[in-house]
Structure 1
Amino acid sequence: MFWDLFVLVFYFIAVFYFGFHFAKNTQKEDDFYLAKKEIHWVFLLISLVATETSSLTFLSIPSLSYKGDFRFLEIAIGYIFGRTIVALYLLPSYFSGNTISVYEYVGNRFGKSPQKTLSFVFTISRLLGDGIRLYVSSLPIAFLMERMGISISPEILGIFALSILSIVTIIYSVFGGFRAIVFTDVLQWVIYILGGIFALVLILNQFGFPQIQEQIQHLGTLGKWNVFVLDYVQTGDNSYFILFAIIGGAFISIGSHGTDLMLVQRVIATKNLLSGQKILIGSGIVVFFQFLLFLCIGSLLYVFYEGKSIPPDKVFSHFIINEVPSPFLGILVAAILASAMSTLSSTINSLSLTWARDWGMDKWFSPRVLSLFFGVLLFLASLIPYFLVDTWEKGILEMGLTIFSYTLGPSIAVFFLAKSKKDLPVSGLVFSLFFLLNILTTVGMGVFWKLSFTLLVPIGFGTLVGLVSLCKIIKKVDR
């Protein structure tokens, strides 16, 4: 256990180094939020992948293949299509102006009301969605502390772990700004990927070389390697029916990488449009292979724990804590911390950015003060899952995706309408009300009809576009 703790302490020191190394260059907004667009696109690509690849991927992706198969790769295929659409259609507009926040682009087209409404919805969805991600990342730390013999309730251990994670991340985010966050993301992504590869090799080693082929064939007979779901069921969950999954994945990616400030921020921080397009499309390919790696881990864990009753969302954490020897346990826990902290730091920075620029808070507060405020707020949001997780029917990864799916569809519609160059048939204030009403309608339809998260985004998009089109028709008739 000593060496595990030594690895974690060394990791935290490295993170602090990056934060304070770049602290002297973050006094101005363009540096604190975009690093003056001086960072090479390769580092921004890795930062983008690290940001979207949270602890949910590290810990929950294996649970999907552990309890099912490889059908989640359908979503990843949709991700690549969606990012390509953003790169070719939306991204040129973001580089045509001199905006720091993409919501400023909407504000320039439709006025301050839609701009602030988008910013507010982004804030709420990020706090709730990333609060879940932060919560998940605290589980293995709590397990590790429990293994050390600390006899405290799991809830108290979890909250303590969340506190440690939050404090460290807030410090380097506040002092280092965007530049420190990007290069720390690169470090954390390398640790994260090496941790995943090590876990896969370790599981294979547990079987022994002669048994590997036998186990792979056994998984094949169980259908654990299946990727495409070709059968549509009349009653039941069709989230992964191939058509819904790929289209839904594409819409999710258009929403997240085309309208979500936290992820778009990494794309517009590069020097030119071509580099931004490389970042977007390249990140989709990298994420696909990341999913493949962790789905392989989940399938092999199914064989490893066959016959044992372990909750799917905790199976990888269980393996890490109970099967990984020291000091490699510390390395894997550091990988989990890396995946969590990269997302947390990026969320803090982007929330600070949107409230500085879209709400004009930079007149009263510095970027560092705003970052500190949202860091504390995000920590408080991470405590919410302690009251929800026991009663939620779906896995925690799908829970996080569902939260974002309610808002992504209407958000995509706003940006596509802005791109169309046509004026709105209603005022900016009324359009903002339409946008919020559309989100509530999407939530209502999703809950009432129990729609899959892959359908929520297209429905939200189509509903808002249809409503605006109807207003245009009515306006023409009145004339």
Structure 2
Amino acid sequence: MSPLLVFSIIAGYFLILLVISYFTSGKADNATFFTANKESPWFLVAFGMVGATLSGVTFISVPGEVGNSNWTYLQFVMGNMVGYGVIALILIPLFYKLNLISIYEYLRNRFGQKAYLTGSSFFIISQTIGASFRLFLAALVLQIAFFDTFEIPFFVTVLTTILLIWLYTFRGGIKTIVWTDTLQTTFLLLAVIISMYIILNHLELSILQMVKVVSESKMSDIFEWNWRSDRNFFKTFLAGIFITIAMNGLDQNVMQKNLTIKRTKDAQKNILWFAITFFIATVLFLTLGILLYKFAFDTGITIPDSTDDLYPMLALNHFGIAAGIVFLLGITAAAFSSADSALTALTTSFCVDILDLPSRKAKGQQKTRLAVHLGFTALMFCVIMVFNQINDSSVVNAVFKVAGFTYGPLLGLFSFGLLSKKQVKDKFVPLICIISPIICVILDLNSATWFYGYSFGFEILLVNALLTCFGLFMIRKSTISKNNYGT
């Protein structure tokens, strides 16, 4: 694929995003940026959230991972469905009742200012690292596909992409994101479907024959019952539930989109329909994984050492120009649909939670928000460059994994607040929320030695949350909150 063609695809894509931004950000103010004036159609939010949830990491990794762990990832997604049910039935009504801009305002109402700032800070840390990591992977693809040809340095690639994101989000914020996410989800799903269609044509398979190939493949095995495995069904299913609650229901990035919907019932419908669409999309990714391996085996193509390289290698080098174009659009859409909403959510959380911007005088609010938005853009650029300097995938993945531990305290804080009426000594909450993930990192590193070969998987998040709840119980007061919401 020629560099000029790659440039045309990426430039055309961003031009569409800028046009959407122009039409959605007219007369935009802080309320538009933070809540889209609560005018978003629920079905649009539901569809757009698929693209934001299926990040560039998922787009590249899930199909390739089929060769390592079959369809066991679907166990995790089954747990996700239960988690989304909890979000729709419990968290959505709570957040709407309290009329929140940032969901971490609940922690101030329930426990106090220290808990509130702790929750928001943990989100900011984890979201900055996570979003930067996903954008880093996308920038690497663009570097190889286009910028390397002209010997353009990687930092220019990163700076260009992140400034483009800033350009189409800095005015409309979440209102723009709702619409751009819809476009990006469309490109992402089209990329998968068209890739599958091209493979079927190459292999001369019909849809019915494809279903037979997938069902008969060893790679389509879903369930793992070995209790020592980090893919054990019970561990993975439970982890799917609680990770969804923590990383979706207790994540400002995701919940900010839900809070742009006017009515509680519509927001609940949004979550449930999103869950169904997300499940179908995951099955498509897993099906694509089997087809990619079958194509490679049947045509004698060597499987790369890193399974993450399988889909990009085949799409860009073996499926033809059309498939390469679709793949580039898909990976770009997947990466930027998560990065742009993360940038908006980080700006919102910092402005509302840390600066308490809504309580300030109207004059200067918008300038402050713009400065924060630009500041997080610069911060993400710096984090991406650090990832590039490390230049060690195992170290980068370790950093990304550590960032995931910060969701455990959030899950513990909200769980203790909802399931207990106890008040806590607020000044000790930050200490509890720091100690819990540290203990979990130690457990994760030594579990195989200490627990007879048992290896922690996703369920380490639940352990993290339980430790946080135990710590909060230990610093409880004798008084109780006025009701289950702590308000």
Same fold flag (TM > 0.5): yes
Q: Tell me the number of residue pairs that the alignment of Structure 1 and Structure 2 aligns.
A: 461
Which residues of 2 match residues 425-436 of structure 1 at below 5 A?
A: 426-436=424-434
Which piece of structure 1 moves more, 317-326 or 107-116? 317-326
Q: Is the 8 A contact 1:71 1:226 kept in 2?
A: yes
The residue identity in structure 2 corresponding to 1:460 is: N
Q: Check if 1:232 corresponds to 2:233.
A: no
Of the three residues 367, 370, 373, the one matched with 2:369 is: 367
Aligned to 1:302: 293
Of the three residues 434, 438, 441, the one matched with 1:440 is: 438
- Shift in Å, 1:161: 3.3
Q: Is the 8 A contact 1:66 1:301 kept in 2?
A: no
3-state SS of 1:449 partner: helix
Q: Is the 8 A contact 1:143 1:321 kept in 2?
A: no
Which piece of structure 1 moves more, 193-202 or 320-329? 320-329
Distance change in 2, residues 1:157/1:204 (3 Å) = farther
Q: Is the 8 A contact 1:215 1:303 kept in 2?
A: no
Residues 219-247 of structure 1: per-residue CA shift (max 9 Å, x gap): 766611101112323xxxx2211100110
The residue identity in structure 2 corresponding to 1:166 is: I
- Shift in Å, 1:274: 1.2
- Shift in Å, 1:300: 1.6
Aligned to 1:457: 461
Distance 1:175 1:276 in 2: 24
Q: Is the 8 A contact 2:80 2:241 kept in 1?
A: yes
Q: Is the 8 A contact 1:51 1:343 kept in 2?
A: yes
Aligned to 1:349: 344
Which piece of structure 1 moves more, 454-463 or 466-475? 466-475
Aligned-residue identity in percent: 21
- Shift in Å, 1:367: 2.0
Aligned to 1:416: 415
Of the three residues 307, 312, 315, the one matched with 2:307 is: 312
Q: Check if 1:85 corresponds to 2:80.
A: no
Distance 1:388 1:443 in 2: 21
Which residues of 2 match residues 374-393 of structure 1 at below 5 A?
A: 374-387=376-389, 390-392=392-394
3-state SS of 2:173 partner: helix
Distance 1:13 1:287 in 2: 27
3-state SS of 2:470 partner: helix
Residues 277-299 of structure 1: per-residue CA shift (max 9 Å, x gap): 11222222211111111111222
- Shift in Å, 1:193: 0.8
- Shift in Å, 1:137: 1.4
Distance 1:300 1:404 in 2: 33
The residue identity in structure 2 corresponding to 1:265 is: Q
Q: What RMSD over aligned residues (CA atoms) do the two structures have, in Å?
A: 2.7
Distance 2:184 2:438 in 1: 37
Aligned to 2:261: 270
- Shift in Å, 1:160: 3.9
Distance 2:6 2:274 in 1: 31
- Please give the TM-score of this superposition, normalised by the length of structure 2: 0.87
Aligned to 2:49: 48
Aligned to 1:223: 218
Distance change in 2, residues 1:98/1:226 (3 Å) = same
Distance 2:146 2:410 in 1: 41
3-state SS of 1:305 partner: helix
Distance 1:206 1:157 in 2: 37
- Please give the TM-score of this superposition, normalised by the length of structure 1: 0.89
Aligned to 2:161: 165
Which piece of structure 1 moves more, 330-339 or 206-215? 206-215
Distance change in 2, residues 1:472/1:101 (3 Å) = closer
3-state SS of 1:382 partner: helix
Aligned to 1:178: 174
Aligned to 1:15: 17
Distance change in 2, residues 1:77/1:158 (3 Å) = farther
Distance change in 2, residues 1:465/1:183 (3 Å) = same
- Shift in Å, 1:466: 2.1
Distance 2:101 2:478 in 1: 36
3-state SS of 2:458 partner: helix
Which residues of 2 match residues 273-284 of structure 1 at below 5 A?
A: 273-284=264-275
3-state SS of 1:368 partner: helix
Distance change in 2, residues 1:387/1:288 (3 Å) = farther
Aligned to 1:71: 72
The residue identity in structure 2 corresponding to 1:200 is: M
Residues 287-320 of structure 1: per-residue CA shift (max 9 Å, x gap): 1111111111222222222361412011111112
Distance 1:214 1:360 in 2: 55
Distance 2:53 2:371 in 1: 25
Distance 2:48 2:399 in 1: 24
Q: Is the 8 A contact 1:130 1:382 kept in 2?
A: no
Distance 1:114 1:31 in 2: 27
Distance 1:290 1:82 in 2: 17
3-state SS of 2:394 partner: coil
Which residues of 2 match residues 124-203 of structure 1 at below 5 A?
A: 124-145=125-146, 150=149, 152=151, 158-203=154-199
The residue identity in structure 2 corresponding to 1:167 is: L
- Shift in Å, 1:464: 1.5
Distance 2:111 2:209 in 1: 59
